[in-house]
């Protein structure tokens, strides 16, 4: 599979699996990963990574790899984890998934009158138009313009966030906290923004992955 290389990609119906050679040096693995992604930016942008296998990475190394493939190359990391059936509950427990976990991808524009609700993270690959509503127990990420209503962390998860390439919601909620766009707001955001709860209120900030 590796053919003398340290990094290999395997595609499936659910997404991409990245394999790192088990006995390879981490620096060589990282450098080769960047080289391969750089050579095919358009192909990998927006692709979903469901697993990173092979070489055992430390937490810091894994975090760095995820930062590279997501922030630099626009890939979406949704690692599948084995679920212990004994831990599944039907009660209204607060959804704890923040960066990983149960995630639904919708490749479409959500139009006025449509209402999407999911018991996990929601990723919209498209726009959310005014009059549309998206609701999630986890995070909400819109890879386009968010101009409708968004409610993340609906089950009480105050660690949830809402992110969009263009964040202009008519109403935005996280858990029980609510934020509205000011009526006098005319300046459109110049880049991706992130909304989260800070100091008891919803704060919207520019998304700066290298900050």
Neighbours of 159 (CB within 10 A): 17
When mean pLDDT is compared across 7-11, 83-87, 164-168, 195-199, the lowest value belongs to 83-87
Provide the angle, in degrees to the nearest 10, between the axes of the packed helices 59-67 and 26-39: 10
Q: What is the pTM of this model?
A: 0.52
The values of phi and psi at residue 65, to 5°, are -65, -45
Q: What average pLDDT does the chain have?
A: 80
The values of phi and psi at residue 186, to 5°, are -120, -20
Specify the residue for token string 């929601």: 122
Q: In the beta sheet, which residues pair with residue 48? A: 76
Question: Average of pLDDT values for 36-62?
Answer: 85
* Cα 195 from Cα 179, distance rounded (Å): 9
* Cα 135 from Cα 125, distance rounded (Å): 15
Tell me the CATH class for 85-206.
Answer: mainly beta
Residue 208 has pLDDT above 50, yes or no: yes
pLDDT tier for residue 75 given thresholds of 50, 70 and 90: confident
pLDDT tier for residue 81 given thresholds of 50, 70 and 90: very low
């Amino acid at each position: 599979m590796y053919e003398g290389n340290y990094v290999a990609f395997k595609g499936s119906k659910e997404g991409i699996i990245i394999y790192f050679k088990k006995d390879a040096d981490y620096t060589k693995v990282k450098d080769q990963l960047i080289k391969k992604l750089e050579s095919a930016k358009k192909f990998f942008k927006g692709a979903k990574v469901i697993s990173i296998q092979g070489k055992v990475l430390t937490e810091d190394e894994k975090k760095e790899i995820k930062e590279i493939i997501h922030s630099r190359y626009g890939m979406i990391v949704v690692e599948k984890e084995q679920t212990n059936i004994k831990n599944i509950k039907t009660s209204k427990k607060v959804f704890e998934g923040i960066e990983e976990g149960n995630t639904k991808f919708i490749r479409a524009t959500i139009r006025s009158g449509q209402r999407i609700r999911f018991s996990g993270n929601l990723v919209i690959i498209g726009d959310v138009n005014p009059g549309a509503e998206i609701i999630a127990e986890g995070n909400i990420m819109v890879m386009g313009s968010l101009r409708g209503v968004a409610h993340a962390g609906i089950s009480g998860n105050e660690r949830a966030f809402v992110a969009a390439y263009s964040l202009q919601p008519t109403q935005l909620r996280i858990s029980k906290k609510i934020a509205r766009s000011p009526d006098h707001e005319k300046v459109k955001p110049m880049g991706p923004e992130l909304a989260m709860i800070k100091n008891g209120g919803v704060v919207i900030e520019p998304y700066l992955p290298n900050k």
